[in-house]
Amino acid sequence: MSEVFEWMDEWGPEKIIVVHDTRTGMKGMVVIDNTARGPGKGGCRMDPNMTLLDCFRLARTMTWKWAMADIFLGGAKAGIRNDPKSPYKEEIIRAYVKKIRKFLPDEYVFGNDMGFAEKDGAIALDEAEDMKAAVGTPAELGGLPYDELGITGYGVVEAAECAAPYRSMELNKATVSIQGFGAVGAFTAKFMREKGSKVVAVSSLEGAIYDPQGLDVDRLLTLREKHGDKAVLKYGRGQQIPLGKELELEVDLLVPGATGDVITEKNMKNVKAKMIVEGANFPTTEVAQKYFYEKGILVVPDFVANAGAVMGAGKAMDNRYSCDILEPREVYETVKRKMWKNVAMVLEESKRGKRLPREVALSISQERVRKAMELRGRFPKTKKG
C-alpha cells in the first residue's frame, strides 16, 4: 500500500478505487488522476494481468493526452483484472459497473481499451442506466464505434504524415514496421497503405511477419476478421521473424502500437528506424527517448500521436444528445485538424528550443492543467508535508 502513496504528486491521483465481487470473481480498479479540466475519462482495459500501477500510469497519460488535445476532460483509467475471453464476460462487466456506479459519469466516463469493445460499452451503459456513462458504444446508442472507424490508427498516420518532413521523409514513399495488429495496429496499416506507404512488417501476440517488398495489407485485414491475432500466421507469405525483431528492422518509420515499455536501454541501440510514432502508450522508456534524440531519430510521443481516439471521443460527447448520428467524416476531419496542429506545434518548438518532443508536449499539457488547478484553488503555492 505504501507504494500507492509514492505515486501521489502535485498532479494526482485524486482517487484510487479497488473493487471485488466474490460471486463472479470480478477484480477491478479505477484511477481518477486529475479532474481540474473536467470529469475523468479514459478507456477500460480488461486484462487478467492488469495491475494498479498499470492503471495509474495509463490514467496519468490520459491527463496529459486530454490537455494536449485541449479537450476539457480529465485523466482517468479503469481496469478489470479478468480474462476478456471469459464466457462470463457480461456478468463480470455488470458486477464491475455496479461497484463503481456512484462515480459515473460525474467523476469517470467509460471508454474502450484492450479487451473492452463497443458491445462491452453498451453493457456498461445499460448497467449504469445513464447515457453519459460511456462513449465508444455502438452508434445506435449514440456512441462512437472506435473499432469500426479505426480512429486511433487514423490519428497515428496523420501524425506520421505531419512529422515526416522533419526527417526529410515523404510518407507515400516510406517503409513501415508496425508492432501490434489489434485495433490500433491494423488500422494504422490500413491508413498507411492508403497514403501509399509500404508496410513491410507487422506483429501480433502470435508472431511477426516481414516482407521487404511489402505486405498485402488488405489480405491481412481480411485474415484478421476471421482469425484475430493468428492472422499473421495464416498469411502464408513473406517470412516469419522472432517477436520483437519488427522493432529492429531497417525501415523509415516504426510504429509501436501494442503495449508499453517495449523499447528500453536493452534494445534501443538495435532500432534502425528514422522515425518512431508511438501508437501505444509509453512504448519507449525515458532513457531510450534521450538516446534516439541524440542519434537524430525523431520520436512523436504517445499522448500526442495516439490521441485520435480522445479527439473523437470529445466530439462524440459533444454530440451525445444530438438527434443526428455522428458522421465518420466529421470525426476524421476533427482528428486530422487537431493532430496536424498539435504535432506541428510540438515539433516546431522541439526544433527551436532543442528539446525532446516529449519534453515539449509534456510542458504544454502541464501548463494547461496547472492553470486549471490554480483557478480552482487546487494547486498548492507551497508544498506541505
The reported pLDDT for the residue numbered 373 is: 97
**pLDDT mean over 293-309:** 96
Q: Which has more pLDDT, 287 or 145?
A: 287
The reported pLDDT for the residue numbered 329 is: 86
Task: Tell whether the model's pLDDT for residue 323 goes beyond 60.
Answer: no
Picking from 113-127, 282-296, 315-329, 335-349, which range would have the lowest pLDDT averaged per residue? 315-329
The reported pLDDT for the residue numbered 321 is: 47
For the CA atoms of 159, 240, 248, 308, the dihedral, rounded to the nearest 10 degrees, stands at 20
Tell the burial category of 355 from Cβ atoms under 10 Å away from its Cβ (0-12, 13-18, 19+).
Answer: middle
Which candidate in 27, 41, 77, 315 is catalytic? 77
**Inter-CA distances, 381 with 44, 137, 373, 377, Å:** 34, 41, 11, 10
The reported pLDDT for the residue numbered 8 is: 93
What is the C-alpha radius of gyration for the chain, rounded to an integer number of angstroms?
Answer: 20
Task: Tell whether the model's pLDDT for residue 325 goes beyond 70.
Answer: no
Whether the link from the prior residue into 283 is cis, omega within 30° of 0, is: no
The reported pLDDT for the residue numbered 143 is: 73
Q: Are strands 298-300 and 207-210 parallel, antiparallel or unpaired?
A: unpaired
Task: Tell whether the model's pLDDT for residue 382 goes beyond 70.
Answer: no
pLDDT per residue as tens digits for the range 216-269: 999 999 999 999 999 999 999 999 999 999 999 999 999 999 999 999 999 999
For the question of whether the overall pTM of this predicted structure is more than 0.85, the answer is: yes
Instruction: Compute the mean pLDDT over every residue in the chain, rounded to the nearest whole number.
Output: 93
Which amino acid is located at 257 in the chain?
G
**pLDDT mean over 93-105:** 97
Active site residue 77: yes
